[in-house]
């Protein structure tokens, strides 16, 4: 399958084989950087960065320049017509009529998906709020591949702000797909969101082990890993011996510490709440521990206080290499999406994952809203054109996942549209935990947040309302 003319909104938009092929092309780009200047001649990339950026924006622009293309850019939302109330969709249509490819960073979660839906040209998500940052993940995986040959079987600790760090979310999905084991080391209060954990467990069929009182079993305070995600195909001690085996696990070493900064811009009261005081720090002292002897220290950058400058000269430190590799990786990506290069997709290995789980979709003109205030469906003015849309990710309990930001809701009440077709006498609603959830076909389902909403829409309670 060709990668040309596609968009990269989430890391699941590329299969494992396509990522491998992209890395081979990135190697080629890196080996002959100066010979690529005709590849995208005559092409224009629009670079829209509505949140601060140094590395991502400049490496994208460098990449396009190196490929011989040209760049147009907008970096201040206040200087665009979005500030006048223009919709993201209209902006996308217009920019798509000027440029051959669009790179967008936006504070709203799901904004890149909206741009991709309307632009008519390939769109690359360069970070949409706290949701995803797939091209940073490509740089991270590329670095792991370069340093450790294969990602399969590696043990990677995700460190810091797991709640709001978009790089963390895209990376966790990719690591799961490539067969790595993930250790979670969050700053207290900034644990991995439930919807990300659920996706790791259901979509990628991983096993999640939670250790509530971990200090009991790990060396005191040293590495209080909160949870361990184990990929299914790797025989794992932890799955058989819970609790005490955490010690064994950590003694076996950690292949990479992926450190991230506190995402202050997404949590207005972080300092007030003192969250920054408990933020875990990686320094020389920590890296002296035996279990970190061969550990790569990674960071998407920028760093603040969570990663000491004293480790910069350490051969295990990878972060400046990760950033530098952003150029060949993004050159490869742009060239592929523009169809300037074709690649052979390698045979997928046993861990290959083509993201094609088809959950039924739920979209109605009125009713349910996404629970995430930073979701594009809650931010875009009065939703003139974006209708909230969900995937029905689970029935027991009924769980809907927003197609834009992936946050989940568990609504309490349901009904069937059969009343509408005269098959039922009364418009009745039931509890979503009742047996009706399996009886009503997804296309006939009407879902309510509350009884008040069901009643306001003319439904009466059935005997299946608890």
For ligand NCD, the binding residues (CB under 6 A) are: 55-56, 127, 133, 136, 166-167, 260-261, 300-302
Q: Which of 169/428 has CB closer to ligand NCD?
A: 169
Q: Which of 96/186 has CB closer to ligand NCD?
A: 186
- The distance of closest approach from Cβ of residue 136 to ligand NCD in the complex, given in angstroms and rounded to an integer, is 5
- The distance of closest approach from Cβ of residue 306 to ligand NCD in the complex, given in angstroms and rounded to an integer, is 10
Q: Which of 301/402 has CB closer to ligand NCD?
A: 301
For the chain, state the CA radius of gyration. 23
Token pair 């932890």 is found at: 238
Host H or E run for residue 258: strand 256-259
- The distance of closest approach from Cβ of residue 160 to ligand NCD in the complex, given in angstroms and rounded to an integer, is 9
**Partners of 103 in beta bridges:** 47, 124
Tokens of 465: 């309302």
- The distance of closest approach from Cβ of residue 260 to ligand NCD in the complex, given in angstroms and rounded to an integer, is 6
- The distance of closest approach from Cβ of residue 74 to ligand NCD in the complex, given in angstroms and rounded to an integer, is 17
Neighbours of 466 (CB within 10 A): 8
DSSP state of 360: P
Number of C-alpha atoms within 13 angstroms, CB side, residue 286?
Answer: 19
Chain centroid to CA 37: 32
- The distance of closest approach from Cβ of residue 181 to ligand NCD in the complex, given in angstroms and rounded to an integer, is 23
Sign of CA dihedral 229, 152, 133, 398: negative
Nearest Cα neighbor of 329 from 74, 137, 200 is 137
- The distance of closest approach from Cβ of residue 330 to ligand NCD in the complex, given in angstroms and rounded to an integer, is 11
CA distances 181 to 15, 53, 178, 206, 401, Å, are 19, 30, 9, 9, 25
Q: Which of 138/301 has CB closer to ligand NCD?
A: 301
Q: Which of 49/413 has CB closer to ligand NCD?
A: 49
Q: Which of 137/399 has CB closer to ligand NCD?
A: 137
Q: Which of 115/323 has CB closer to ligand NCD?
A: 323
**Partners of 402 in beta bridges:** 390
DSSP state of 289: S
Q: Which of 136/416 has CB closer to ligand NCD?
A: 136
C-alpha angle 352/354/359, rounded to 5°? 135
Number of C-alpha atoms within 13 angstroms, CB side, residue 224?
Answer: 16
Tokens of 24: 């081979």
- CA dist., res. 226 & res. 190, Å (int): 11
- The distance of closest approach from Cβ of residue 421 to ligand NCD in the complex, given in angstroms and rounded to an integer, is 48
């Amino acid at each position: 399958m060709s990668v040309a003319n596609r968009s990269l909104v989430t890391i699941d938009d590329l299969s494992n084989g396509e990522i491998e092929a992209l890395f081979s092309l990135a190697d080629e780009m890196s080996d002959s950087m100066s010979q690529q200047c005709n590849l995208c001649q005559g092409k224009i990339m629009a670079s829209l960065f509505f949140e601060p950026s140094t590395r991502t924006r400049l490496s994208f622009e460098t990449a396009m320049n190196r490929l011989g293309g040209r760049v147009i850019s907008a970096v201040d939302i206040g200087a665009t017509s979005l500030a006048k109330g223009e919709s993201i969709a209209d902006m996308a249509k217009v920019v798509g009529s000027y440029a051959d490819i669009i790179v967008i960073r936006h504070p709203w979660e799901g904004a890149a998906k909206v741009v991709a839906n309307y632009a008519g040209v390939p769109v690359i998500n360069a970070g949409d709020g706290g949701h995803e940052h797939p091209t940073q993940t490509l740089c991270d995986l590329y670095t792991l591949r370069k340093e450790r040959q294969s990602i399969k079987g590696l043990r990677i600790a995700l460190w810091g702000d797991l709640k709001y760090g978009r790089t963390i979310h895209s990376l966790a999905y990719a690591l799961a797909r490539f067969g790595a084991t993930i250790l979670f080391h969050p700053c207290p209060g900034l644990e991995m969101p439930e919807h990300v954990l659920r996706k790791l467990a259901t979509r990628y069929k991983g096993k999640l082990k939670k250790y509530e009182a971990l200090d009991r079993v790990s060396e005191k305070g040293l590495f209080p890993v909160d949870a361990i995600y184990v990929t299914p195909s790797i025989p794992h001690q932890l799955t058989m011996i819970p609790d005490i085996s955490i010690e064994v696990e950590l003694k076996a070493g950690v292949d990479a510490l992926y450190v991230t900064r506190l995402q202050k811009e997404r949590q207005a009261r972080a300092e007030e709440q003192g969250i920054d005081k408990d933020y875990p720090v990686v320094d020389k002292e920590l890296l002296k521990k035996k279990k970190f002897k061969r550990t790569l220290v990674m960071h998407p950058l920028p760093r603040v206080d969570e990663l000491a400058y004293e480790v910069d000269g350490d051969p295990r430190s990878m972060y400046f290499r990760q950033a530098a590799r952003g150029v060949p990786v993004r050159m490869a990506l742009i060239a592929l999406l523009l169809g300037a290069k074709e690649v052979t997709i390698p045979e997928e290995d046993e861990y290959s994952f083509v993201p094609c789980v088809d959950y039924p979709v739920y979209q109605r003109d009125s009713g349910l809203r996404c629970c995430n205030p930073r979701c594009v469906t809650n931010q875009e003015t009065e939703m003139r054109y974006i209708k909230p849309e969900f995937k029905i990710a689970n029935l027991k309990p009924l769980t809907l996942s927003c197609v834009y930001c992936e946050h989940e809701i568990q609504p309490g009440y349901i009904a069937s549209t059969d009343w509408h077709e005269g098959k039922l006498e009364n418009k009745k609603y039931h509890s979503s935990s009742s047996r009706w959830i399996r009886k009503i076909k997804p296309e006939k389902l009407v879902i309510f947040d509350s009884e008040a909403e069901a009643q306001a829409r003319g439904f009466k309670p059935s005997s299946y309302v608890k």
